Amino acid sequence: AFSPDGKFLACAGQDGFLRVFCFDSAELQGSMKSYFGGLLCVCWSPDGRYVVTGGEDDLVTVWSFSDSRVIARGRGHNLPHSSGSSPNSQKPASSI
């Protein structure tokens, strides 16, 4: 998923890693590991501050891109296939 400004690309991996790359240089900007299992979907919050993932751990996780840490983690549902964020970046969402 591309960041709202188009500068970064967030990639969810079957290996459980979220990797964020600078799109122009393809340089790795950071990576974070899921709680368990692979990541299935990823999206950015509209303000570009957070990355939301859903994975095989049945969790929806909100990562702070600038702080390289988990901000929130909540129980989702079995195998989310799409993740998102509310327009004001306050509420994460996922779908199956």
Domain boundaries, the chain: 8-95
Range 8-95 classified under CATH 2.40.128.630: yes
pLDDT tens digit string along 5-63? Answer: 999 999 999 999 999 999 999 999 999 988 789 998 999 999 999 999 988 888 889 99
Q: Are 80 and 94 within 8 A, CB to CB? A: yes
Helix/strand/coil for 71: strand
Q: CA Rg, the chain, in Å?
A: 12
**Extended strands (E) in 1-96:** 8-12, 17-22, 28-33, 39-44, 50-55, 59-64, 69-75, 82-85, 92-95
Contacts of 68 (CB under 8 A, 6+ apart): 30, 32
Nearest alpha carbon to residue 65 among 16, 15, 30, 39: 30
Quick check: pTM over 0.85?
A: no
